[in-house]
Structure 1
Amino acid sequence: MKPWIERQRHLIDFTAQSLARRKGKSLGLLFVYTLLVFVLASVALYTHALRNEATRVLAGAPEIVLQRLIAGRHDLVPPGYIERIGRIRGVQKIEGRLWGYYYDSVLKANYTFMVPADREIVPGEIVVGPALERTRGLSAGNGISFRAYSGELHTFIVAAVLAHESELVSADLVLMNEADFRRFFAYPDGHYTDIALWVANPLEVRNVGVKLLGTLPDSRPILREEVLRTYASIFDWREGMMLALLSAAILAFGIFAWEKAAGLSAEEKREIGILKAIGWETGDVIAMKFWEGFLVSLFAFLVGYVAAYVHVFHFEFTLFAPVLKGWAVLYPSFALTPQIDGLQVATLFVFTVLPYTAATLVPIWRAATTDPDTVMRS
């Protein structure tokens, strides 16, 4: 085993020196190769981190959200629904929620107005999200006015700004007192936007959803697992859309890499002929060329992946973030928790390293099995 390892070490040393003699070709290929890996790894890392972040955020979400439908559209939940839901076996906790969207003509952006269940807010005051603070120049103690859809102007005092760590879900959020919310949106007493439910046994969530449909035929229960699947589908679609846009660049690289790997220059052919003439075996020549392709592709993969990691988790995916974030005006600024999926790394490695390495073996096998004199004369 040790002689074989020593043999491979010497072959790697010779391959490295051979690459150094062809700096122009090697650096050009390495740059393009690294750039491709960087782009693909950036998209994969960012999408995977967003999926994990969505899963983490929704872990504390209600297991079921119940909406009322009128003519297929979302409508207010009238009084009495909470009491009827409470009689369904398996429901542990029920909470009527108040939230709605407000269009700000100043920023041409939508805000989410909401009454928090776990926080008391003084009437006449609001708590705003970090993106709203940043774009409107707000801070604690400032006043801000919103014109309701009825035309009436409402003025509020900013009591606090939500923590920047929560910006992924609170960028456009405005929290307010229940009485202020009902007055602003003209919500009648006892009505809610929807109802949040928690189930005692997580295995019975789907059964409780079926019971809700039986008890309230005009309702639509939305399960937390369905919301997670929707987020995953959105991220998959955006990732696929971006990779589709990059498909031309990927195809161009494939052609470039194949041409570089498959086309032996006259200098390389002479080198192979000389090696065969001085006693190198066909297996040694093939192994040398294998190490050449593998070292180039492995180095490009490592540099590209590390650069993508830094780009995603330290520079907030600056180059491609607008494509995958999806917010139109109020872009949240947040730091994703570094997430690396071993299967994702292995898949990227297989699709970027192995094809180029394999492409180097076909022409070198032909040259290595040809008579040395014929190779040097060609």
Structure 2
Amino acid sequence: MATIEEVARAAGVSTATVSRALREQSGVSERTRKRVRTVAEELDYSISRSASGLATGRTRRIGVLVPYVSRWFFGQVLAGAEEVLRSAGYDLMLYVVGDREGRERFFRELPVRRSVDAVLVLTLSLREKEADRLRELGVPLGFVGGRMDGFNSVWIDDYGGGMLAVRHLLNQGNRDIALIHGGAPDSLNLPAPHERCTAFRDAMAEYGVPVRESWLCTGDFSVSGGRRAMNRILADELRPTAVFAMSDEMAFGALHALRDHKLSVPREMMIVGFDGHEMAECSGLSTVVQPVHEEGATAARLLLEQLQQGGDETRDVVLSTELVVRSSTTGHDSM
């Protein structure tokens, strides 16, 4: 492995500049920083994490608070954040709070204290006491999935996206529309399910269409849950002509159930999802696409900017959604 002196000579800078560039400290132009990084990679040189921490007071670690890791959405957001942070020399420390006990223990013990340089929260509507506990850490904070005071916030318009989906079904002539929702436990307090449910009810009311409560079923944001929910809907004495599934994974499960019942899509049942899963295109699924990977990447960039510039100023970024219409709601049958 090369030494810092060898990197400095190859890059045409001082050893102090190499140190500042690789530690993301100020006083180095972006052009020089990139040149130093390139030379360091070519020479297989890396700074000592422990030495860097002692010199800068930083751990080079970012804590990430997430309710799930097995769901597609959270995996994609994490991938986007990890890609940006890794390229800047940071590691992720993952904290999963998918149940009430785990969440309460995290905020009681706060294991990230003095262990990370920043904290990123993924789609958890924090209670004020929880948000205050994180603010007490005195490190940059990021939030994906809504807006929080004192946090760099990245989100989409879940309500607007839900309206796009349901209006699309209504404009196709449907009036008997079911909803497969996430059904997240109250302990997780996820913002997206609430916003999309509200959009469903408001769009139906906008068109003067009543909501049949027996057609509102929990799908647990999973393929298997979506399949079970669709089966419950089909067991009702009346059958809808369309379904809004609040995630693509639940929509995939619903499509499985419709196939089991030999129902044709979209002739006998239309279905629209939400997320923009990579399997949606090959499944012919109409869906509201959100830039999931970019949500994580954007949140990571905002944290890095605050770490580099210092100060308490935070930023809000709203990313756009788009309805992509495929054969599950129009055109040829997808099944």
Q: State the TM-score, normalized to the length of structure 2.
A: 0.24
Question: Which of the pair has the greater relative contact order for Cα pairs under 8 Å at 6+ separation?
Answer: 1
Q: Whose radius of gyration is greater, 1 or 2?
A: 1
More helix by share: 1
